[in-house]
Amino acid sequence: MKTRVTDLFHIQYPVIQGGMAWVADASLAAAVSNAGGLGLLAGASHPAEEVRKQILHAKELTDKPFGLNIMLMSEHSADLVQLAIEEHLSVVATGAGNPAKYIPSLKEAGVKVLPVIPSVAIAKKMEKAGADAVVAEGCESGGHIGEMTTMALVPQVVDAISIPVIAAGGIADGRGMAASLMLGAEGVQMGTRFLAAKECNISRTYQQMVLDASDSDSVVTGRTFGRGVRSLKSPLSKRLLEMEKNGAQFEEIEALTMDSLRKAVQQEDLENGSFMAGQIAGLVHQCQSAKEIVEEIVFQAEKLLKKYS
Ligand code: TUI
């Protein structure tokens, strides 16, 4: 399956793994890259030297291209940009902010830049700033989200810009991938499906919650502040929604969410964990290797695309 995205990143399949904070480590990123997709390491809010260890580990696990996801709310963003350049990474993906000021130095160093965007206006800004491609992420996604759905966002972004568009949000199988390509996307990014990968090092509690989730088991907290975060229903999300209803401050909600993602991923903390996942979790029932996931999705999408061509 060749698109401008496979050419751009020198990968076999246009399948990109979400750069999930606290989740996307060397084990997962290398497994996705080895499977022919593009793995991403999560910069999250880690200092550069910690992320460097993950990069070196990933380089031991794969000789295929992989990238670093920089979450722009992190105080270490500038250091992570320098790190990506020093380590000659092939791509930097960004989320939760505007990466424009980092694009010239990354491009000069030959690092491809892939911003995640939630609207047409920001997509246009990113193209102008020199991004190589964008991920158009709908609000079906887990984690920090915008307001647009994938179905409405992707074709409007495709019409608005000339660089390749990758669809994200609500995609977990070949049907979602085929649909994304029909909308004009040239690849997909998936987070939730990879939460159920064998190489994904999250707590058993977290993985089981994803496998057990139904279509309506996620909620969005923080929306009143224009900073929505989608996670699976849990004691904490219930508490957060209650706090929000009672007029809690944004900082209170945000601080609680950030730290609780770590508690969900690294500890079996059902009470205080924030189990970020997308609406498509209801479709994910099985723990499989990254290779099985990537191949199954691509082959199913190819079959569907042939059937309707
Ligand atoms: O970034 C994500 N998803 C994330 S980041 C994250 S870590 C976190 N933890 C707790 C609370 C908050 C964050 C968990 N999930 N997705 C990509 C994404 N980027 N979604 C939305 C955006 C975005 C939003 C505004 C991108 C750009 C933007 O504004 C750009 C501008 O011009 O200001």
Q: Please give, one letter per residue, the 3-state secondary structure of the chain.
A: CCCHHHHHHCCCCCEEECCCCCCCCHHHHHHHHHCCCEEEEECCCCCHHHHHHHHHHHHHHCCCCEEEEEECCCCCHHHHHHHHHHCCCCEEEEECCCCHHHHHHHHHCCCEEEEEECCHHHHHHHHHHCCCCEEEECCCCCEECCCCCHHHHHHHHHHHCCCCEEEECCCCCHHHHHHHHHCCCCCEEECHHHHCECCCCCCHHHHHHHHHCCCCCEEEECHHHCCCEEEECCHHHHHHHHHHHCCCCHHHHHHHHHHHHHHHHHCCCCCCCCCECCHHHHHCCCCECHHHHHHHHHHHHHHHHHHCC
Tell me, using a 6 A CB cutoff, whether residue 229 lines ligand 1. yes
Nearest residue CA, atom 22 of ligand 1? Answer: 96
Measure 285 CA to ligand 1 centroid, in angstroms. 27
pLDDT at 156 over 90: yes
pLDDT given at position 42: 98
Tell me, using a 6 A CB cutoff, whether residue 258 lines ligand 1. yes
Calpha distance 141→150 (Å, rounded): 9
Local confidence band at 252 (pLDDT 50, 70, 90 cut-offs): confident
Structure pTM?
0.97
Tell me, using a 6 A CB cutoff, whether residue 145 lines ligand 1. yes
Q: pLDDT by residue (tens digit) across 259-294? A: 899 999 999 899 999 999 999 999 999 999 999 999
Tell me, using a 6 A CB cutoff, whether residue 192 lines ligand 1. no
Local confidence band at 66 (pLDDT 50, 70, 90 cut-offs): very high
Local confidence band at 238 (pLDDT 50, 70, 90 cut-offs): very high
Mutate to test the pocket of ligand 1, among 40, 134, 144 (most ligand atoms within 8 A of CB): 144
Q: Which residues neighbour 191 within 8 Å (Cβ) at sequence distance 6 or greater?
A: 17, 18, 20, 141, 142, 143, 168, 277, 278
Calpha distance 93→303 (Å, rounded): 30
Local confidence band at 309 (pLDDT 50, 70, 90 cut-offs): confident
Q: pLDDT by residue (tens digit) across 2-52? A: 999 999 999 999 999 999 999 999 999 999 999 999 999 999 999 999 999
* Mean pLDDT of all residues in 136-148: 98
pLDDT given at position 106: 98
Q: pLDDT by residue (tens digit) across 84-124? A: 999 999 999 999 999 999 999 999 999 999 999 999 999 99
pLDDT given at position 64: 98
Measure 23 CA to ligand 1 centroid, in angstroms. 16
Tell me, using a 6 A CB cutoff, whether residue 144 lines ligand 1. yes
pLDDT given at position 154: 99
pLDDT at 258 over 80: no
Q: pLDDT by residue (tens digit) across 173-212? A: 999 999 999 999 999 999 999 999 999 999 999 999 999 9
3-state secondary structure 56-111: HHHHHHCCCCEEEEEECCCCCHHHHHHHHHHCCCCEEEEECCCCHHHHHHHHHCCC
* Mean pLDDT of all residues in 132-155: 98
Side by side, which strands form the sheet with 218-221? Answer: 143-144, 229-232, 218-221
Calpha distance 135→169 (Å, rounded): 10
pLDDT given at position 103: 98
pLDDT given at position 259: 86
pLDDT given at position 256: 81
Calpha distance 195→56 (Å, rounded): 22
pLDDT at 250 over 90: no
Calpha distance 131→281 (Å, rounded): 30
Instruction: Give the residue among 259, 266, 263, 142 at the shortest CA–CA distance from 201.
Output: 266
